[in-house]
């Protein structure tokens, strides 16, 4: 897990600690850590030293639909965790909105198509 840089920290906004994610998903923290190892979620180290997941990844009591495959695509394209977060939270006029907003709105196919295109 990477240390987050201030500009990316600012565009992500709200963060959840690993125990917070576990609580929201009604899972043990060890299962959340497994989701991180499996790249179904991304976490970075915040300036205060805590490892955190963007709050936008969680919708009420579940991971937003479409997210679990996207980090793998981005990492396969050579992105580091913090770079993948920056891509997910950066506005794209052609989507419209950000890739994470599109995922939350069930427009994951287009987001994943764009993520795959980054490899070429």
Alpha carbons 51 and 73: distance in angstroms, whole number: 22
Predicted confidence (pLDDT) per residue in 27-44, tens digit? 999 999 999 999 999 999
**Two structure tokens written together for 120:** 């070429």
Section 64-92 average pLDDT? 91
Q: What gap in Å lies between CA 27 and CA 19, rounded to an integer?
A: 9
What's the confidence (pLDDT) of residue 1? 61
| Stated pTM of the model | 0.90
State both tokens at 98: 């950000």
| pLDDT at position 8 over 70 | yes
């Amino acid at each position: 897990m990477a240390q987050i840089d201030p500009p990316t920290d600012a565009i992500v906004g709200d963060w959840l600690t690993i125990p917070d994610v576990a609580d929201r998903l009604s899972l043990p923290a060890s299962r959340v850590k497994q989701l991180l190892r499996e790249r179904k979620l991304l976490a970075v180290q915040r300036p205060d030293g805590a490892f955190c997941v963007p709050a936008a990844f969680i919708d009420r009591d579940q991971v937003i639909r479409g997210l679990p495959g996207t980090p793998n695509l981005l990492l396969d394209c050579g992105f580091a965790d913090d770079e993948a977060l920056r891509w997910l939270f950066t506005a794209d006029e052609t989507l419209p909105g950000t890739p994470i907003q599109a995922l939350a709105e069930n427009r994951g196919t287009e987001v994943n198509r764009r993520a795959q295109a980054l490899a070429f």
